[in-house]
Amino acid sequence: MGSGKDQRKNLIEVPGFYLSFLAVIIACYISFFSKSSIAIVRPVIFLVASFFMLVPFKPKPSIKTLQKITGFYLIAILVNQSEGQYFQISFLPVKASIPFGSAILLLCATGFLAGKVEPGERVTCSYAKEIAGGWLLAGAVITGHMLLLWPMLRKFYGYGYERNWGVLGSLCLYLLVFIFLWAVLEKRRFRQGIGLVFAVFYMAMIFAKRGL
């Protein structure tokens, strides 16, 4: 039997697990029923990736990391689908349009904090070193590309790279999703759970003839 501290920690992690899982389900629902300007092409490929998440491989760090990356990539696709789509909230004279992506991110953030924060314990991100170099490289490449193209576009077309700052914004959004979900992707049950959700989602897309 575990100690009382371990039991309290497990109870705290449960809401974080289910909130993150709920965020994935909502992202699938939004992507399937909303009219996104970004289409998912060839969902069969993503269905195969979903089945890969379901396979209970023998404990091996390289396979587990590959499953985690696959899970994050599948989630990032749906976050990308939610960009540019909004829902409205009306409260008396106030009306606000909130991006679907922000709602999904808020659930992920809440799940992250619920699973990590314990009285007297600080939030840590030791796992961030695993793929931190890749994020830094992606940010450097995109920023460098913008800086190189800006004078060329300014000279020949009369405008710079102003309209594409959204690329960096999207990168920041995916980075936050990575930070909030990478730890819970460590759990096999979570990977298999979202793998099943994605498998159902992409099979539904195939039967509905989406992206075909």
DSSP string for 130-143: GTHHHHHHHHHHHH
| Alpha helices for the chain (secondary structure H) | 4-33, 43-54, 61-82, 100-116, 132-157, 165-181, 188-207
Round to whole Å and give the CA distance between 152 and 160.
8
Within a domain: residue 34?
Answer: yes
Predicted pLDDT of residue 97: 66
Predicted pLDDT of residue 126: 46
Predicted pLDDT of residue 162: 54
Predicted pLDDT of residue 165: 64
The residue segments making up the domain with residue 9 are 4-207
The residue among 207, 204, 198 whose CA lies nearest residue 21 is: 198
Within a domain: residue 89?
Answer: yes
Per-residue tens of pLDDT for the chain, all 212 residues: 445 555 444 544 677 788 889 999 988 888 888 776 567 778 899 999 999 999 888 878 888 889 999 999 999 888 887 776 766 666 656 666 667 777 788 888 888 887 664 444 444 444 555 566 666 776 777 777 677 777 776 666 555 555 566 667 777 888 888 888 988 898 889 999 999 999 999 999 888 876 54
Predicted pLDDT of residue 33: 82
Predicted pLDDT of residue 70: 94
Within a domain: residue 49?
Answer: yes
- 8 A C-beta contact, residue 53 and residue 24: no
Q: Residue 165: phi, psi to the nearest 5?
A: -65, -20
Within a domain: residue 212?
Answer: no
In Å, what is the CA distance from 102 to each residue of 13, 86, 209?
A: 22, 9, 28
Within a domain: residue 133?
Answer: yes
Amino acid at 86: Y
- Quote the number of domains for the chain: 1
In Å, what is the CA distance from 55 to each residue of 28, 76, 199?
A: 21, 21, 12
Predicted pLDDT of residue 88: 65
Predicted pLDDT of residue 211: 54
Query: What is this structure's pTM?
Result: 0.74
Predicted pLDDT of residue 105: 85
Structure tokens at 13: 């992690």
Within a domain: residue 171?
Answer: yes
In Å, what is the CA distance from 42 to each residue of 78, 83, 114?
A: 14, 20, 36
Predicted pLDDT of residue 197: 95
Predicted pLDDT of residue 179: 86
